[in-house]
Amino acid sequence: MKSIKYKLLLIFTAIILILNIGIGTFTTTAITNQLVRDAHDHLMDMAKQEARYVQARIDGQLAYISSLAQNPILLDEKLTFDEKVAFFEEEAKRSGYLAFAFADKEGNATVFNSKHETTNVASREYFKTALSGQASVSDLIISSATSELVTIFSAPVYDQGELVGVIYGRRDGNTLSEIVSSVSYKQTGYAYMINNQGVTVGHKNTDLVFAQDNDIENMKTDESLRELGELTQKMTSREIGSGEYTYHKVTKIAGYAPIQDTPWIIIFGVEKNDILSSINLLVKTLALISIAAILIGALITYFVSSSISMPIKTVTTAAQEIAQGKFDVMLSIKSKDEVGQLADAFNLTIKQLVNYQGYIDEICDALQDMSHGNLRIELHKEYAGQFKKLKDNMQALLENLNSTLLQINQSAEQVNSGAEQVANSAQALSQGATEQASSIEELSASLAELTEQIRKSAENAKSAHEKSGFAEKELHGSIDQMKDMITAMNQITLKSSEISKIIKIIDDIAFQTNILALNAAVEAARAGSAGKGFAVVADEVRNLAGKSAEAAKNTTVLIGETIKAVENGSRISSNTAASLEKNVEVTMEAVALIDEIAQTSQEQAMAIVQINQGIDQISSVVQTNAATAEESAAASEELSGQSNVLKELISKFSLTETNDLLYSKNDNVDSDDSFLLNNNMVSVTDGKY
């Protein structure tokens, strides 16, 4: 599948296949839709034609029954009833009727048969219509005489211009089924008839007729009949139309039309697959055409792709040989198209690669000499293209290497001298750092002692603050208790006043009792000896009243003294509360001063901590400086040793004779590179400072 030939073959075959499938699908779909539309139109036309045919037959029967209504035998009084029966029975047999009957204007009907059957048809629509003077045909009904499904044709009967009754004839209920059974369409098409209520009145399956099958009602209990039921409901609007429905998983197309002057609609239905049966031949034809087109297209694509892929394969083989180092390859493709141009360009590339091989060999030799330390090299070939730029860069590289190595040699000597100076300075710095570290340790010890004293002061201030806070709370509690006591004394005063009022009432009662006792004594004296006992009681009551008054008086005096004592206690309590409040204020001021002292002590402690941290940092820096000085001294010694090694390495290179090469050939060195070298020299010599 990696071959371009097979890729092209696959792509173009797929394109042809997709196009054929698309065209076939579009064509089949378009023809299918057209066939379905034509079927709808054709079925509507057939329904209209059959409706006209049925209407013509109905009109013929109405004309017949109307002519029978004008037959003089019907009203001939000279004929006996049996003679009339014989005539109408013969006429019924001849015309295909089951029987004829005559009904007067009240609907009382007599059937012309040997049984002399009678019935009343006043409620029947066909009777009412005929009685209005118009011949009519009834819907499929159950006969009131025979209880069978029949169709009634009726017509008015006149006697000398006066309506005297109605003649009607019964036809078998299969009459409409016989009419539609004679009609067919394709393999599965057939016709049937329904009335305005959707009831089947004519069908090749007469069981549906006698069962009064109604698809509008059926869809209420069978969801699979919903499409048919809705289409049937649409038919009852008595309009010409068509539609599709699914019945027992088979899709059908139906065209329908109403039959004028009747309560019936005729329907033509056919299976959709029957309509589309002609599509199968078309599909087979399109499939054969598609297969032929695919095969022809694949064959053409194969030859075309082969003509393209073969030259490309030849070029690919040549490229693989070149990749392996074989430059004696030459392509002989005579094509004038893009592939031929590719081959010519490839041949030119091979020639140029042969020239490039010489450049590469000379450069490799030069690089090998450089790897052995020989920088006295010259490139003699004339280079072309990018290789010329490579030659120029190679020569510039040689000159720069010569200049750089000479400068490195000079710099190594300067580094050696600077390293000795750095070592001396580092030794002096290390001695000074050691002395500073000793002084800092003494200062750190003093600060540690001061920190401990400040910490103790802060703790004492904190303890004093806590105790002052406790004293403040206790004073506030005492003030609250004093206030409660004052409130209680005030309540005692109020209650004492209320007791005084009660005692006053008792005193008044004792006074009244005393008066009553006096009155009782007076009355007892008037009564003489009979009132002596009552007088004794009155004296006792008066004595008790006197004692009560005396006790109330003494109680009043005691309560008054109590009130004075309570008032004095309240005044003392108020003074005590005021003193306590002043103590609270003084205590709060003391607490504030203690808080300020504690805060100041904490700030001093924090400051000392920060000073300690600063001293620790200074100590760390001093120690670091000392270590750095020692490391610098060691590094200086190492640097001095490395500079000697560097000088030995440079001595292995074969450089140009003069030491002024850097300055004599600055025009071959890039200005940026020269600036960089000079800066590097300055940074090395100034490093010791």
Position 116: which residue type? H
Backbone φ/ψ region at 254: left (φ over 0), alpha (ψ -120 to 50), beta: beta
Q: Which helix (H) or strand (E) holds 423?
A: helix 386-527
Of these ranges, 49-53, 172-176, 595-599, the one predicted with the greatest mean pLDDT is: 49-53
Neighbours of 439 (CB within 10 A): 12
Backbone dihedral angles phi then psi of residue 108, each to the nearest 5 degrees: -75, 115
Gap between the Cα atoms of 250 and 255, Å rounded: 16
3-state secondary structure 195-213: ECCCEEEECCCHHHHHCCC
Per-residue pLDDT, 380: 67
What would the two tokens of residue 334 be?
């005579």
Q: Are strands 264-271 and 189-195 parallel, antiparallel or unpaired?
A: antiparallel
pLDDT higher than 50, residue 132:
yes
Q: What is the pLDDT of residues 417-472, one digit of tens each?
A: 776 777 677 677 767 767 777 777 777 777 777 777 777 777 777 777 777 777 77
Is 295 or 413 the better-scoring residue by pLDDT?
A: 295
Per-residue pLDDT, 606: 80
Distances (CA, A) of 78 to 83, 84, 165, 565: 10, 10, 19, 153
Average pLDDT, integer, range 360-387: 73
Is 556 or 420 the better-scoring residue by pLDDT?
A: 556
Average pLDDT, integer, range 290-309: 76
Q: What is the pLDDT of residues 476-527, one digit of tens each?
A: 777 777 777 778 777 877 877 777 788 788 878 878 887 887 787 787 777 7
Q: How confident is the model at residue 328 (pLDDT cuts 50, 70, 90)?
A: low
Distances (CA, A) of 482 to 447, 474, 568, 574, 585: 52, 12, 14, 8, 17
pLDDT higher than 70, residue 127:
yes
pLDDT higher than 80, residue 656:
no
Per-residue pLDDT, 46: 93
Distances (CA, A) of 144 to 137, 176, 530, 536: 16, 20, 129, 129
Q: What is the pLDDT of residues 7-40, one digit of tens each?
A: 777 887 888 888 878 887 887 788 888 888 998 9
Domains along the sequence of the chain with CATH: 20-278 (3.30.450.20), 444-629 (1.10.287.950)
What would the two tokens of residue 460 be?
């004492």
Is 341 or 23 the better-scoring residue by pLDDT?
A: 23
Provide CB contacts within 8 A for 104, sequence distance 6+.
164, 165
Least confident of 102-106, 194-198, 321-325, 664-668: 664-668
Q: Are strands 149-159 and 136-137 parallel, antiparallel or unpaired?
A: antiparallel
Q: Are 520 and 545 in contact (CB under 8 A)?
A: no
pLDDT higher than 50, residue 680:
no
Q: How confident is the model at residue 309 (pLDDT cuts 50, 70, 90)?
A: low
Gap between the Cα atoms of 405 and 13, Å rounded: 70
Per-residue pLDDT, 103: 96
Per-residue pLDDT, 667: 42
Task: State pTM to two decimals.
Answer: 0.43
Q: What is the pLDDT of residues 87-97, one digit of tens each?
A: 999 999 999 99
Percent of the chain scoring above 70 in pLDDT: 84
Q: How confident is the model at residue 334 (pLDDT cuts 50, 70, 90)?
A: low
pLDDT higher than 90, residue 598:
no
Is 523 or 329 the better-scoring residue by pLDDT?
A: 523
3-state secondary structure 4-57: HHHHHHHHHHHHHHHHHHHHHHHHHHHHHHHHHHHHHHHHHHHHHHHHHHHHHH
Q: What 8-state DSSP symbol labels residue 214?
A: B
Numbers of helices and strands, H then E, in the chain: 14, 13
Percent of the chain scoring above 90 in pLDDT: 27
Per-residue pLDDT, 359: 66
Q: What is the pLDDT of residues 192-234, one digit of tens each?
A: 999 999 999 999 998 999 889 999 999 999 999 999 999 999 9
Mean pLDDT of the chain: 79
What would the two tokens of residue 237 be?
């609007």
